[in-house]
Amino acid sequence: MAHNHSHTPHQSHGANRSPLLAAFAITALFMLAEIIGGVLSGSLALLADAGHMLTDTAALLMALLALQFARRKPNSRHTFGLLRLTTLAAFTNAIALLVITVLIVWQAIVRFYHPEPIAGGLMMAIAVGGLLANLLSFWLLHRGEEEKNLNVRAAMLHVLGDLLGSVGAIIAALIIIFTGWTPADPILSILVSLLVLRSAWKLLRESLHELLEGSPQTLDADKLARTLTRSIAEIRNVHHVHLWQVGEKPVITLHVQVIPPHDHDALLQRIHLFLHQHYQIEHATVQMEYQRCDTTDCRLPQSATEQTHAHPH
C-alpha cells in the first residue's frame, strides 16, 4: 500500500483574500446606504437589495474567515487541515440567500396589495450607487480563482444577486418617476429574487454534495477505474474506489489488482503519475494486490474490463 499527497495550502487562498476583503468593505458600506435610502424613500426594491447586501456582507465575511482557517496546517485532530470550512461557508451562504429570497418575495406580495408612497428620485440615486458598487465588487471577485474556489463562487453569486437587484431598483424607479405606478417596485423585487433563486439552489446542491463526501463533479469513479485498467498493462482490475473532495483537492483511495511486477515501486509510481497527470489528483492511497478479487465490489469493475486484458489467472 502506498500513500501520496501534498498538504501545502493553495496559493489561491492568498490570491482570493485581497479581492474578498475589498468586496466586503464596498458591500458593507453600500448595504448601509441602501437601508437608509430604502427607509427614507419607502422603496421595497431598495430594501430588498439591501437584504441581499446584508447576506452578501455575511457571505464575504465567512469567506474571508474560511480562507484564513483553511491556511492552517493539518494536525492530529484535523489531518486534512480545515479546508472543508470553505465548503461549509458556501453551504451556509446558499441557505441564507434562499431564506432571504423567500422573505423578500413574501414582503413584495404584501406590498403589492398594500402599496405605499415611494420617493422615486432618491430611490434612483441610491440604486445607481448600489449598481456601481456591485459592479466593482463583482469585478474584484471575478479576478480571483472563482472557477476553482467554491466559496468565492458563493460570494460572487450573492454579489450578482445584488447587481440584478440594483438594476431592478433602477427600472422600478424610472417607472415610478415617469408614471407614478408604485406596484412596479414590489413586482421587480419578485422578478430579481426569482433570478437569484436558481443560482442559489445550484450552489446549495454543489456544496451539500461535497459535504456528503460525494465525488467531484468533474470525475467519474467507474470511468476512472476503467481508464486506469486500460492504460497500464500490468493492471488486471481496479476496485474499492473511493473518491471525494476536501476544499479544492480531489482525494482517492483504491485497490489495484496487478500482475506481480519486477519493480513494485516503479509500477506504483506510474499509477500515481497517471492519477496526477490525467485527473489532477495529488492525494492518492493505492493498495496493490496480487490475488484475484472475488468480492461483490470487484465483480462489476472487472466485468467491464475483462475484455481489455486477457491475462491468465
For residues 115 and 253, state if they share a domain.
Answer: no
Residue 2 confidence (pLDDT): 57
Answer yes or no: is 107 within a domain: yes
What is the chain's length? 313
For residues 194 and 234, state if they share a domain.
Answer: no
Residue that terminates a domain, selected from 160, 178, 211: 211
Domain count, the chain: 2
Answer yes or no: is 172 within a domain: yes
pLDDT above 60: residue 312: no
For residues 126 and 256, state if they share a domain.
Answer: no
For residues 180 and 286, state if they share a domain.
Answer: no
Query: 35: pLDDT confidence band, cut at 50, 70 and 90?
Result: confident
Strand partners, 289: 257
Residue 148 confidence (pLDDT): 53
Query: 287: pLDDT confidence band, cut at 50, 70 and 90?
Result: very high
Query: 309: pLDDT confidence band, cut at 50, 70 and 90?
Result: very low
Could you tell me if residue 81 is left (phi over 0), alpha (psi between -120 and 50 degrees) or otherwise beta?
A: left
Query: What CATH code is carried by the domain that includes residue 189?
Result: 1.20.1510.10
Structural domain span for residue 274: 221-305
For residues 226 and 263, state if they share a domain.
Answer: yes
- Which parts of the chain fold into alpha helices (H)? 12-41, 44-70, 84-113, 120-142, 150-179, 184-211, 221-231, 264-279, 296-305
Check: CB of residue 160 under 8 Å from CB of residue 53.
no
For 204-248, write each residue's pLDDT tens digit.
Answer: 898 899 899 888 888 888 999 999 999 998 998 899 899 988 867
For 37-82, write each residue's pLDDT tens digit.
Answer: 888 888 877 877 777 777 778 778 777 877 777 677 878 887 777 7
For residues 201 and 245, state if they share a domain.
Answer: no
Answer yes or no: is 311 within a domain: no
Answer yes or no: is 149 within a domain: yes
pLDDT above 80: residue 3: no
Answer yes or no: is 94 within a domain: yes
Average pLDDT, the chain: 79
For residues 95 and 158, state if they share a domain.
Answer: yes
Query: What CATH code is carried by the domain that includes residue 295?
Result: 3.30.70.1350
Residue that terminates a domain, selected from 163, 183, 211: 211
Check: CB of residue 238 under 8 Å from CB of residue 271.
no
For residues 149 and 181, state if they share a domain.
Answer: yes
Residue that terminates a domain, selected from 211, 239, 274: 211
Distances (CA, A) of 207 to 27, 78, 131, 213, 246: 23, 20, 28, 10, 11
The model scores a pTM over 0.85: no
Answer yes or no: is 233 within a domain: yes
